[in-house]
Amino acid sequence: MKALRIALVGGRGRMGTALSRLAAADNAQIVAAFGANDEITPRKADVLIDFSSAAAAEQVCAAATEAKIPLVIGTTGHSAVERHFVEEAAQAVPVVLASNFSVGVNVLFALAQQGARCLGPGFDVELVEAHHRLKKDAPSGTAKTLAEILQRELNLTNARHGREGMVGERRKSEIGIHSIRGGDIVGDHTVIFAGDGERIELTHRASSRETFARGALRAARWIIGQRPALYSMRDVLGI
Ligand code: NAD
């Protein structure tokens, strides 16, 4: 089978390094890797994968659109404007945008949605995420995705990022989101459904970046041949 040719933005970062390490063993080849000051030229690649910085979104999207190659974005922390570049690109080429490529977290997304449906508005929902000390954005992209799912499901209009001082009683419309940063934590996410007299906690812990890299490779193989649209990892996994 022909090796999958990958152009990689953020090739020297933590995720870029994990992906490069995995590629050869997974019949894939990094044909080009780009850093912060490089021009992105992915013409000889089958797919462009981005694990860099949200600020690169405009350049990454333009490169994929011009070269007409599918795009897999793992970068998190996009602003509304940066997200708009991604949505525009998805009209021209297929794009997978995933805040988390691990199979387990995508099952957590499905379980959180199911939990919200079953438990309903009688339970308060809080999210806790923990990451290594070098992570730049907060809350994590994964926590944002979880919050979006739960907000939509339970009509929680009020996202509350941490609490301090006389904040008053918790409102029914609230979803609390809390970020912990320290050490080398790869990525933990917990959804807490707290009711009267009982609570459910759903936790996912990633222990290796290889999990994300493997998922990104899976997304890269899946997206080739798809029609232009914005896809999620749940589309890739069919869950
Ligand atoms: P990192 O800081 O180790 O690496 C980022 C790399 O991108 C660096 O080498 C940096 O020089 C480069 N870079 C920065 N700006 C750039 C630009 N404009 N153009 C090209 N390259 C640029 O970070 P990391 O831990 O590898 O994470 C990278 C991104 O991936 C973050 O947004 C992180 O949240 C996200 N991430 C996503 C997943 C997932 O499963 N989707 C998993 C882990 C991390």
The two three-digit tokens of residue 182, written as one number = 């320290």
pLDDT of residue 43: 84
135 counts as catalytic: yes
CATH 3.30.360.10 residue ranges in the chain? 103-206
| CA-based max dimension of the chain | 62
Q: What angle do CA 64, 36, 13 make, to 5 degrees?
A: 95
- Out of 135, 144, 178, 204, pick the active-site residue: 135
Instruction: Return the CATH number of the domain spanning residue range 4-97+209-237.
Output: 3.40.50.720
Residue of minimum CA distance from atom 35 in ligand 1: 75
HSE of 143, CA atoms in CB hemisphere, 13 A: 27
pLDDT of residue 46: 97
CATH 3.40.50.720 residue ranges in the chain? 4-97+209-237
Radius of gyration of the chain (CA): 19
Q: What phi and psi values does residue 180 have, to the nearest 5 degrees?
A: -110, 135
115 Cβ closer than 6 Å to some ligand 1 atom: no
Distance of CA 119 to the CA centre of its chain: 26
Per-residue pLDDT of the chain (239 residues; tens, 9 = 90+): 889 999 999 999 999 999 999 998 999 999 999 999 999 999 899 999 999 999 999 999 999 999 999 999 999 999 999 999 999 999 999 999 999 999 999 999 999 999 999 999 999 999 999 999 999 999 999 999 999 999 999 999 999 999 999 999 999 999 999 999 999 999 999 999 999 999 999 999 999 999 999 999 999 999 999 999 999 999 999 98
36 Cβ closer than 6 Å to some ligand 1 atom: yes
Probe target for ligand 1 pocket from 76, 140, 142, 145, with the most ligand atoms within 8 Å of CB: 76
pTM of the entire predicted model: 0.92
Separation CA 115–CA 118 (nearest Å): 5
2 counts as catalytic: no
34 Cβ closer than 6 Å to some ligand 1 atom: yes
211 Cβ closer than 6 Å to some ligand 1 atom: no
Distance of CA 111 to the CA centre of its chain: 17
Q: Spell out a b/e string for 26-65, using b for 16 or more CB atoms within 10 Å of the CB, else e.
A: bebebbbbbeeeeebebeebbbbbbbbbbebbebbbebbb
> By C-alpha distance, which of 11, 19, 18 is closest to 217?
19
- Considering the four listed CATH numbers 3.90.209.20, 3.30.1300.10, 3.10.20.340, 3.30.360.10, the one that applies to the domain covering 103-206 is 3.30.360.10
- Hey, how many other C-beta atoms are within 10 angstroms of the C-beta on 192? 17
